Homo-oligomer: A and B are copies of this chain.
Amino acid sequence: MSELTLAQSLNGALATSLESDERVVLLGEDIGRTGGVFRITDGLRDKYGAGRVIDTPVAESGIVGAAFGMAIAGLRPVAEIQFLGFSYPAYDQIINHVARIRNRSNHRFTAPLVIRIPFGGGIGAAEHHSESTEAIYAHIPGVKVVVPSTPADARGLLLASIEDPDPVVFLEPIRLYRAVKEEVSELYYTTEIGPLRVEREGNDITLISWGAMIKEIRAAASILEETGASVEVLDLRTLSPLDHEGILSSAVKTGRVVVAHEAPRTAGLGAEIAAIIHEGALYSLLAPVRRVTGWDTIFPLKRSEAHYLPSVDRIVMAAQEVLEA
């Protein structure tokens, strides 16, 4: 065990899989010499060679398409796209090929690859560097979408994703890369893809999110508890497939739900989660599920970032209204 940030934990998980599975190869822009723009692959090229930790030309469709071919041929590629905002040139490869080869070939060919993508805002970055378009990936049948929010989950979920026989879009919360440290085992372990994590148990209201927003709902929960409310906090961890039972059992228990995400509201995953809850637990609800989200605007530049990001205050206010309803 050692105290690791989420970034260090991902680096360790990649090292472990390179170590334990010779089929694993990493490819992406600047992941070799520099260890990637966020240093997640730091040191891996020196240790495992430029043949397994591969710097590529600037071409996202090429990176994903090549990794896809590698996966079909029996390797376990882990591709990195530098930011979610730069994943769109690869969207065609992902939805039309990566997600479909098992179906197209009736299981004869499969694509066990992982596409790692840093996402989310909060660091005052340039345009396109703060995206949270997870919904457009969660809407694709044939891929899984995984989002860790803790160092321990990061390791377990990444190793599980690399082991998974189907393709995984692995979204990494930029804001949390170095925000928290926790004890992470050096052992090889996996965290099951699918089940959500109950971060905190409570009875009056459920706060749901994933990725970097976990920090905000956690803070909101603490504030709410000071006012005497018993708050349950859920970290979805997997956005596709969604853990319907986990979501519903909490909603049924508390009867009050707030779901928070950075993505724009319209057609964001908050809508899906609200729909699941209303369909499966309407008669247990004491108030409508409330969405606290990014606005239906483009993620703004640094000076306006605070205008956009769902704040702890907004979550607390929404929760209080839901509690009073």
Please report the C-alpha to C-alpha distance between residue A271 and residue B288 in the assembled complex, in whole angstroms.
Answer: 14
Kindly report which residue of chain B lies nearest to residue A289, judged by CB atoms. B278
Kindly report which residue of chain B lies nearest to residue A136, judged by CB atoms. B136
Please report the C-alpha to C-alpha distance between residue A139 and residue B137 in the assembled complex, in whole angstroms.
Answer: 12
Check B271 against A242 for contact (C-beta < 8 Å).
Answer: no
Residues of B contacting A99 in the complex (Cβ-Cβ under 8 angstroms): 298
Please report the C-alpha to C-alpha distance between residue A103 and residue B282 in the assembled complex, in whole angstroms.
Answer: 39
- Taken together, the copies of this chain in the complex come to 2
Partner of A298 from B100, B274, B297 at Cβ < 8 Å? B100
Kindly report which residue of chain B lies nearest to residue A297, judged by CB atoms. B141
Q: Are A275 and B296 also in contact (CB < 8 A) when A139-B133, A267-B139 are?
A: no
Kindly report which residue of chain B lies nearest to residue A127, judged by CB atoms. B104
Q: List A108-164 residues whose CB lies under 8 Å from chain B.
A: 127-128, 133, 135-136, 138-139, 141-142
Give chain B nearest CB distance to A127 CB in angstroms. 7
Please report the C-alpha to C-alpha distance between residue A290 and residue B290 in the assembled complex, in whole angstroms.
Answer: 19
Please report the C-alpha to C-alpha distance between residue A278 and residue B268 in the assembled complex, in whole angstroms.
Answer: 15
Residues of B contacting A240 in the complex (Cβ-Cβ under 8 angstroms): 266
Please report the C-alpha to C-alpha distance between residue A266 and residue B263 in the assembled complex, in whole angstroms.
Answer: 16
Q: Is A272 an interface residue when CB atoms closer than 8 A count as contact?
A: yes
